[in-house]
């Protein structure tokens, strides 16, 4: 694989030139019906409308060249085939394959990474058996009653993706089944979830690849204690998802254990058992399989080399255009669907942990901007909150709107001649238009500069299948950008230093609690910080 620097790609200069005078969306007749019809692409049940981006044929051609020159699709195919892409050439690094797509490639019979897909299949079969046992009453609580709630204990990738997907599909839960989540080491997180929960009817699903994550270990311990206090046997209520031979991989302690593998990073793991167990419990096995099939369809569609025919590739390139060439520091993901309320939080991890990097795949410092800040909230809520800044602020924020033609519950009403669902979608379309075209006005307060780029992703309805497609779409967008920037989107070295320092502080706090005062360790910043923060016991003399 070529590891060209981003700024050395021939298309980079071309794009820089084009960025000096980008297409003006406020120009007369620019946003014509023809442009709206033309700047559109359909794939896997999604329509991407991008007429409201500051691009024209020349920019799109140059972005195509950039993608080609960076070898984005070749790298993607290599990834799916099992290449060791999680590495920094010439330095100690994780040196792993990147095979989240394999967990979805279980339907074709001709998987690109057969071994990983076979393992995924094995776990799926085990999950199906477990869920059957629950359905058939072979697994129950000690009173023979069925379990109603699954509490997932995990953090980061073991929380955000599964939680976002669960909330997205909560309308499609099986009767009598629901899920809760505990992530934060904040003891109030566990306390508030456990408060009022009927533990006797609950399964606790502890998810940690290493089996050593501080938050998860601690919360597992809190929940275990709560079970015991309620007179329940933890081994009858607890399930584990962990790496083979991790400290958590202990059949004695859990009702069932499912495995995750080191070639699937946490932030890409929602379609492995990390999401599978809780989603399978809540939606049924078939619901989870629908999600996998939706994701797999996009995994295949994303192999297309023509940016005008590949949604995640085009979105990746438009993102790079806005970020690296038009200088926009952030990107807002704005789902017009309350069910997707936590999807932006999942993308924050998936995107910012993947692409918030400063070195190339060869270990050299990057000389260009890598991943943007990703943020967002559902519309129409955001319209009454931060959209003021999107329209009239001095920070230009490219927006990614996500919407659906039909609601999930189908409970709706005509008010003023339209349904709520129509109002929802109309508002989304109107925002894209307003951001793009702006409005001149004599009163400067009522003036809108326009030229604020956005794109629209539209599908018919948010189902398990659609959700799987959308998830994979964004995963690939992120990975494509990482390939383009020539960074390793699969490690997360940046989380280590905080851990080291936290451990040091906790050692000092524990010592101080034991009366083994911190003064002896000398007047160091850590002690001063603990002292000023009031986190050390009052000092007695001497």
Q: Within positions 196 to 215, which residues make up the interface with a copy of itself, using CB under 8 A?
A: 213-215
Closest separation between CB of residue 130 and a copy of itself, Å?
26
User: Helix (H, G, I), strand (E, B), or coil: what is residue 440?
Assistant: coil
> What long-range pairs does 503-512 form, CB within 8 A, spacing at least 24?
505/529, 505/530, 508/536, 509/535, 509/536, 512/536, 512/537
Which candidate in 244, 441, 446, 499 is catalytic? 499
Under the binding rule (CB under 8 A), the answer on residue 449 touching a copy of itself is yes
Q: Which is nearer to a copy of itself, 54 or 296 (CB)?
A: 54
Under the binding rule (CB under 8 A), the answer on residue 27 touching a copy of itself is no
> How many of the other CB atoms lie within 10 Å of CB of 229?
9
| Helices (H), ranges, 82-232 | 114-135, 160-168, 187-194, 214-229
Alpha-carbon span 202 to 537, nearest angstrom? 39
Segment near a copy of itself (CB under 8 A), from 35-43, 120-128, 245-253, 254-262?
35-43
Alpha-carbon span 206 to 301, nearest angstrom? 34
Q: Which is nearer to a copy of itself, 303 or 377 (CB)?
A: 377
499 given a catalytic annotation:
yes
Query: Of the candidates 370, 454, 466, 469, which one interacts with a copy of itself according to CB under 8 A?
Result: 370
Q: Of 272, 343, 317, nearest to 484 (Cα)? A: 317
Query: Of the candidates 26, 148, 200, 381, which one interacts with a copy of itself according to CB under 8 A?
Result: 381
Alpha-carbon span 188 to 323, nearest angstrom? 38
Residue with tokens 């076979």: 118
DSSP code per residue over 128-162:
HHHHHHHHTTSS--TTSPPP-EEEEE--GGGTHHH
Alpha-carbon span 123 to 261, nearest angstrom? 11
Q: Map the footprint of a copy of itself across residues 214-233, applying CB under 8 A.
A: 214-215, 217-219, 221-222, 225
Residue with tokens 């009702």: 255
Closest separation between CB of residue 1 and a copy of itself, Å?
19
Alpha-carbon span 266 to 248, nearest angstrom? 17
> How many of the other CB atoms lie within 10 Å of CB of 74?
15
Query: Of the candidates 458, 471, 472, 478, which one interacts with a copy of itself according to CB under 8 A?
Result: 458
CB 318 within 8 A of CB 385: no
Helix then strand then coil, % of the chain, to nearest 5? 50, 10, 40
Under the binding rule (CB under 8 A), the answer on residue 92 touching a copy of itself is yes
Q: Which is nearer to a copy of itself, 42 or 108 (CB)?
A: 42
Closest separation between CB of residue 457 and a copy of itself, Å?
11
Segment near a copy of itself (CB under 8 A), from 31-39, 245-253, 278-286, 297-305?
31-39
> How many of the other CB atoms lie within 10 Å of CB of 219?
26
Q: Map the footprint of a copy of itself across residues 240-259, applying CB under 8 A.
A: none
Closest separation between CB of residue 527 and a copy of itself, Å?
7
Closest separation between CB of residue 242 and a copy of itself, Å?
16
Which candidate in 353, 400, 475, 477 is catalytic? 353
Q: Map the footprint of a copy of itself across residues 468-507, applying CB under 8 A.
A: 488, 491-502, 504-506
Segment near a copy of itself (CB under 8 A), from 134-142, 254-262, 432-440, 471-479?
432-440
Closest separation between CB of residue 314 and a copy of itself, Å?
16
441 given a catalytic annotation:
no
Alpha-carbon span 237 to 136, nearest angstrom? 17
Q: Map the footprint of a copy of itself across residues 171-200, applying CB under 8 A.
A: 171, 183-192, 194-195
Q: Which is nearer to a copy of itself, 181 or 480 (CB)?
A: 181
Count the site residues for a copy of itself by CB under 8 A: 161
Give me the 522-541 binding string for a copy of itself, x by CB under 8 A, dash otherwise.
-xxxxxxxxxxxxx------
Torsion angle of the four alpha carbons 300, 306, 307, 309, in this order, in degrees rounded to the nearest 10: -60
Under 8 Å CB-to-CB from 36, ≥6 apart: which residues?
49, 51
Closest separation between CB of residue 210 and a copy of itself, Å?
12
Alpha-carbon span 119 to 106, nearest angstrom? 10
Give me the 265-284 binding string for a copy of itself, x by CB under 8 A, dash otherwise.
-xx-----------------
Segment near a copy of itself (CB under 8 A), from 9-17, 123-131, 295-303, 356-364?
356-364
User: Helix (H, G, I), strand (E, B), or coil: what is residue 540?
Assistant: coil
Q: Which is nearer to a copy of itself, 286 or 513 (CB)?
A: 513
Q: Which is nearer to a copy of itself, 106 or 352 (CB)?
A: 352
Give me the 382-401 binding string for a copy of itself, x by CB under 8 A, dash otherwise.
-xxxxxxxxxxxxx-x----
Q: Map the footprint of a copy of itself across residues 305-344, applying CB under 8 A.
A: 329-330, 336-339
Q: Which is nearer to a copy of itself, 144 or 175 (CB)?
A: 175
Alpha-carbon span 301 to 292, nearest angstrom? 14
CB 165 within 8 A of CB 275: yes
Q: Of 90, 13, 20, nearest to 360 (Cα)? A: 90
CB 436 within 8 A of CB 401: no
Q: Which is nearer to a copy of itself, 101 or 421 (CB)?
A: 421
Q: Map the footprint of a copy of itself across residues 123-182, applying CB under 8 A.
A: 155-157, 159-160, 170-171
Under 8 Å CB-to-CB from 202, ≥6 apart: which residues?
147, 148, 149, 150, 151, 237
Q: Which is nearer to a copy of itself, 71 or 372 (CB)?
A: 372
Q: Which is nearer to a copy of itself, 77 or 529 (CB)?
A: 529
What is the set of active-site residues?
353, 384, 499
């Amino acid at each position: 694989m070529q590891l060209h620097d981003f700024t050395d790609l021939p298309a980079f200069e071309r794009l820089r030139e084009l960025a000096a005078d980008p297409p003006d969306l406020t120009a007369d007749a620019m946003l014509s019906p023809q442009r709206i019809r033309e700047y559109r692409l359909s794939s896997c049940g999604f329509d991407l409308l991008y007429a409201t981006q500051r691009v024209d044929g020349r920019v799109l051609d140059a972005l195509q060249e950039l993608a080609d020159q960076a070898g984005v699709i070749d790298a993607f195919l290599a990834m799916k085939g099992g290449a060791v892409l999680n590495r920094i050439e010439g330095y100690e690094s994780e040196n792993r394959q990147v095979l989240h797509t394999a967990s979805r490639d279980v339907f074709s019979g001709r998987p690109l990474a057969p071994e990983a897909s076979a393992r995924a299949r094995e776990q799926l079969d085990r999950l199906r058996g477990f869920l059957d046992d629950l359905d058939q009453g072979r697994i129950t609580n000690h009173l023979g009653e069925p379990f109603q709630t699954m509490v997932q204990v995990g953090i980061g990738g073991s929380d955000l993706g599964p939680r976002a997907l669960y909330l997205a599909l909560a309308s499609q839960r099986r009767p009598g089944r629901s899920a809760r989540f505990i992530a934060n080491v904040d003891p109030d997180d566990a306390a508030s979830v456990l408060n009022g929960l009927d533990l006797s009817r609950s399964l606790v699903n502890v998810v940690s690849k290493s089996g050593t994550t501080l938050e998860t270990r601690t919360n597992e311990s809190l929940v275990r204690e709560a079970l015991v206090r309620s007179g329940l046997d933890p081994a009858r209520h607890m399930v584990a998802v962990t790496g083979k031979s991790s400290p958590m991989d202990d059949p004695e302690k859990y009702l069932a254990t499912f495995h995750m593998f080191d070639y699937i990073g946490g932030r890409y793991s929602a379609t492995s058992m990390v999401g599978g167990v809780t989603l399978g419990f809540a939606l049924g096995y078939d619901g989870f399989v629908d999600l996998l099939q939706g994701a797999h369809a996009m995994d295949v569609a994303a192999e297309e080399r023509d940016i005008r025919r590949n949604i995640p590739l085009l979105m990746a390139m438009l993102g790079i255009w806005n970020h690296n060439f038009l200088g926009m520091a952030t990107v807002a993901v704005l789902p017009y669907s309350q069910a997707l309320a936590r999807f932006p939080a999942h993308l924050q991890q998936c995107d910012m942990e993947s692409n918030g990097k400063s070195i190339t795949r060869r270990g050299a410092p990057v000389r260009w901007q890598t991943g943007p800040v990703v943020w967002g909230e559902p519309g129409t809520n955001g319209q009454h909150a931060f959209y003021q800044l999107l329209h009239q602020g001095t920070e230009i924020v490219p927006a990614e709107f996500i919407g659906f033609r039909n609601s999930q519950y189908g409970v709706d009403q005509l008010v003023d001649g339209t349904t709520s669902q129509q109002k929802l979608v109309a508002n989304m379309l109107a925002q894209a238009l307003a951001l793009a075209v702006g409005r001149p006005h004599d009163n400067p307060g009522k003036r809108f500069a326009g030229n604020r780029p956005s794109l629209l992703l539209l599908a018919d309805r948010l189902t398990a299948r659609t959700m799987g497609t959308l998830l994979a779409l964004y995963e690939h967008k992120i990975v494509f950008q990482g390939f383009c920037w020539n960074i390793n989107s699969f490690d997360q070295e940046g989380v280590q230093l905080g851990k080291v320092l936290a451990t040091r502080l906790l050692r000092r706090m524990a010592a101080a609690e034991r009366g083994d005062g911190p003064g002896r360790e000398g007047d160091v910043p850590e002690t001063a910080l603990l002292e000023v923060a009031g986190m050390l016991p009052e000092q007695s003399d001497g």
